[in-house]
Amino acid sequence: MSSPSRAVVSLRGVSHHFGDGLLRKQILFDLTADISPGELVIVMGPSGSGKTTMLTLVGALRAVMTGSVRVEDQELHGATPAALTLIRRKIGFIFQDHQLLGSLTALQNVEMGLGTAGLNRNEVLRRAREMLAQVGLADHLNAYPAKLSGGQRQRVAIARALVREPRILLADEPTSALDRETGRQIVELLRTLARQQGCAVVMVTHDNRILDVADRLLYMEDGRLSSFAPVTSPHAAHLMTALRPLAESGTVTALLGRMQDSEFIELLRALAAESEQLLNVVDLGGPATAFRTLRETTRGVLAHIASLLGASHGYVWLREPDGGLRCIVGHPERSEKPPGHDVLRCLDTGAVARDHQALCVPLPNREYQMFAVAEMKTESANESSEHAFRDFARPLGLLTEAYYRLESEV
């Protein structure tokens, strides 16, 4: 988690409800999180889970009822209307329908973003032109929204939101009406421009196709932050944020190998407890970065489990739809290896198989059905190591399932 001193947005114990008496409905429950400058955070979760309500509280569009919301070290809880107005001037907003004025050109819409900035006319015009050029619309300054594509209109909305150089940018479903390629271009553009300005971006979305663009993922369900929110699952956050950039350099396995055993086991427990969220945040559309991350992470987890069990080799076997067997992950990695008798017996019976040279356990998927088999080559397999291996089966099965599903897409 970002330290409070660096956070541009800080939430502490935030709760919110609508209505009173019998009509009272609690929407948010004890939210705590920090957002840092230059960070792009995606908030995801089911419809009605409270994502947009949280966004409106951070944006000073709704009064804070319980807890603390600080924006640029300014406390919003109990702030006067005048103070909230000043805070809103430090925040940029992008909405699902872009909310451009149809009677104004792209240039005029962006100029509106500087309406209260106290600049002279020439400076307003200069900054609006430059911002439109940065979003790739230098040739569409005088175009009206009706003449622009959906992606172009959203670029105008981004230019309008960023032209004032806000410290925070709040985006509510900015890609929902866009196709895959255009939506991804919009989010990547948003991330690039925000980082150039040192602007923190908080984006609410249901779009799984863009999750790998985020620096961090928060998951909200029933008004509570869970899953990869750092305040509730620091180890899962470490996995999906710290490991992702390391996948490119192939250092994930080394990083997992250096973890203390207690920390590693806690990581696996966090994954097992959050099975739905793990597979929700995996972009099943198949981006190469997400695939590499899952591949390297699965290998690293397998290697650390092998070390804990005193095993020289570890493999994960998958039964293909045609009935054939494939070693999907190996440690050490080997291109070809025939399955042993214990692997076949474990696949056929769904029960643990153990002899003096190998230990095999079934791996469940998120429906707790047998998905694959993990095999450890060890000459010291006993009842104790069998129980330990069973404890690792759930998180290893989830990683394997996510990895396999991504593999078929890339």
Residue 404 per-residue DSSP state: H
Measuring CA to CA, which residue among 53, 366, 56, 45 is closest to residue 217? 45
**Percent of the chain at pLDDT exceeding 90:** 11
Cross-strand partners of 247: none
Least confident of 113-117, 261-265, 362-366: 113-117
Over residues 70-120, the pLDDT tens digits come to: 998 899 999 998 888 888 888 888 877 777 888 889 999 988 888 766 678
What's the pLDDT score for residue 272?
A: 59
Which ranges of 163-223 would DSSP assign to H, the alpha helix?
Answer: 180-197
Q: What would the DSSP string read from start to end of 248-275?
A: TTT-HHHHHHHS-HHHHHHHHHHHHHTH
What's the pLDDT score for residue 70?
A: 93
User: Would you place residue 69 in the very low, low, confident or very high pLDDT band (cuts 50, 70, 90)?
Assistant: very high
**Percent of the chain at pLDDT exceeding 70:** 79
The arithmetic mean of pLDDT across residues 33-51, rounded, is 85
Angle between helices 261-273 and 288-309 (to 10 degrees): 130
Contact 345, 314 (CB under 8 A): no
Measuring CA to CA, which residue among 373, 396, 398, 366 is closest to residue 318? 373
Measuring CA to CA, which residue among 330, 317, 323, 305 is closest to residue 390? 305
Measuring CA to CA, which residue among 49, 43, 39, 50 is closest to residue 218? 43
Over residues 150-190, the pLDDT tens digits come to: 888 888 988 888 888 888 999 888 887 777 777 788 888 88
Asked, as a colleague might, if the bond just before 332 is cis with ω within 30 of 0, I would say yes
Angle at 372 between CA 367 and CA 378, to 5 degrees: 130
Fold of 9-225: Rossmann fold (3.40.50)
The arithmetic mean of pLDDT across residues 25-49, rounded, is 86
Contact 309, 389 (CB under 8 A): yes
Question: With the C-alpha atoms ordered 184, 188, 194, 195, is the resulting torsion angle positive or negative?
Answer: positive
- CA 139 vs. chain centroid, Å, equals 34
The arithmetic mean of pLDDT across residues 340-350, rounded, is 81
What's the pLDDT score for residue 288?
A: 53
What's the pLDDT score for residue 117?
A: 62
Contact 332, 313 (CB under 8 A): yes
Token pair in block for residue 272:
């097992």
What is the residue extent of each domain of the chain? 9-225, 235-407
Threshold 0.85, pTM exceeds? no
Over residues 276-316, the pLDDT tens digits come to: 445 554 433 334 555 666 777 788 888 888 888 888 888 88
Alpha carbons within 13 A on the beta-carbon side of 182: 13
Query: CA 402 to CA 32: how far, in whole Å?
Result: 28
Q: Is the pLDDT of residue 332 over 80?
A: no
What's the pLDDT score for residue 105?
A: 92
What's the pLDDT score for residue 362?
A: 86
- CA 194 vs. chain centroid, Å, equals 17
Domain 235-407 matching CATH 3.30.450.40: the answer reads yes
Contacts of 407 (CB under 8 A, 6+ apart): 291, 295, 328
What's the pLDDT score for residue 144?
A: 93
The arithmetic mean of pLDDT across residues 263-278, rounded, is 62
Query: CA 113 to CA 293: how far, in whole Å?
Result: 39
Measuring CA to CA, which residue among 181, 225, 212, 271 is closest to residue 51? 225
Angle at 80 between CA 53 and CA 197, to 5 degrees: 65
Query: CA 12 to CA 360: how far, in whole Å?
Result: 46
3-class secondary-structure state, position 210:
helix
